[in-house]
Amino acid sequence: MKSLLTYSALNTFRNCPRKYQLRYVEHLRRPERPDALAFGSVIHAALEAWYRATDDPHRLLEAQALIDGSFPLRDADPEVRHHWQLARAMVEGYAARYPIEPFEIVEIEKEFTAEIRNPDTGRESQTFVIGGKADGIVRMDGDLYLLEHKTASSITSDYLDRLWTDTQIALYSHYLRELGYPIVGVLYNVLLKTRLRQRAGETQDEYEIRRAELAAKNKSGRSTAQRQEPETDTEFRARLADWHSAPGSFHRERIFLSEDRMALLTEEVWQVTQQYLDAKRRGKWMLNTSHCFSFQRPCEYLPLCQSGFSTNVRDNLYEVVPPHEELTQLTVSAANDDSF
């Protein structure tokens, strides 16, 4: 059987072959997961539940229940509770914004595997198939589009321009076309993350200091200031609801995909597979230090690389977890366990 290639693996190898080796050959992973990735996964799962139940009048309750189940420690951990409140408010605001959609749902969380072909000869790779999962496929104005959910801290012109560079979605579109879905573009569904925090109020000492400062500025030497009480959950949720009711809290962007661009990307996929085969044959995995820091955080394998690949660091900081977590076992089993 052929080995499974995903976009995540392909992009990891292209950026840093050594990182690829650590994750996809040795199956190493840090136990903790960045909060931004975990939060985005919860929102994706809630939107999946929302769109799978388009005919159910109680579908918002199902999405809310999924969010509740994703934050079991919300009553014990203030930060977990904060993310739970943000996720609930975001999905509730989304449901209010889009009660009726301008598109028809064709597929939700569509998984696929497809053949990789030599761009010069058209022959199938004897080593790999490519696999992935699209958030959705929708029909709008008579054409098929990928539906791609994004959570973002801000929606700027630069952010929207970067959507055009989304290699993963362009590749998915190409290979889904080969499987009978004539996709013409992508509908990006962007949900903005608020920076609002629940107000904690003042301690008695903080209140006394503030009251004394205000009294010192008053000719009478007195102050009528009242102690600021903590914001209740009800008050905070009302502020979140107001924020998500604003026009800029959600955004839809439609992008059309050119044939030339998709053809170029399939050539790149083929080239990366050949580079991978060469690295595997020689047992040489290049360390690309220009990718040790990205998205304002260090690579999860930086401590291991800095240690000279110490077995002590490996055993204490990493766990062994099979790759391709984004796909179900059914899709992974369609290819050999020796995955790319």
Run of H or E residues at 38? helix 35-52
CB atoms within 10 A of CB 36: 13
Q: Is it the case that residue 3 has pLDDT exceeding 80?
A: yes
Domain hosting residue 211, numbered range: 204-233
Give the whole-angstrom CA distance, residue 2 versus residue 11: 19
User: Per-residue pLDDT averaged across 1-15, rounded?
Assistant: 90
Q: How far apart are CA 250 and CA 202, in angstroms?
A: 33
DSSP category for residue 72 = T
Q: What pLDDT does 206 receive?
A: 75
- Residue 85 forms part of a structural domain: no
Residue 63 in domain: no
In a domain, 314, yes or no: no
Position 217 in a domain = yes
Q: Kindly report the average pLDDT of the chain as a whole number.
A: 89
Rounded-to-integer distance, Cα 164 and Cα 187, Å: 11
Question: Count of domains in the chain?
Answer: 1
28-29 and 319-320 strand pairing? antiparallel
pLDDT tens-place string over residues 255-303: 998 888 888 888 999 999 999 999 999 999 999 999 999 877 899 999 9
Residue 20, CA atoms < 13 Å, CB-side half-sphere: 28
pLDDT at 36: 56
Binned at pLDDT 50, 70 and 90, residue 198 comes out as very high
Residue 210 in domain: yes
Q: What is the pLDDT of residue 327?
A: 66
- Asked whether residue 215 carries a pLDDT value surpassing 80, the answer given is no
Structural domain contains residue 209? yes
Whether the per-residue pLDDT at 336 is higher than 80: the answer is: no
Q: Considering the domain boundaries, does residue 211 fall inside one?
A: yes
| Least confident window among 18-27, 34-43, 88-97, 100-109 | 34-43
Residue that has been written with the tokens 């985005």 in this structure: 40
pLDDT at 337: 45
Give 35's pLDDT tier (boundaries 50, 70, 90): low
Q: Does the residue 304 lie in any domain?
A: no
Collapse the DSSP code of 147 into the 3-class scheme (helix H, G, I; strand E, B; otherwise coil) and give the result: strand
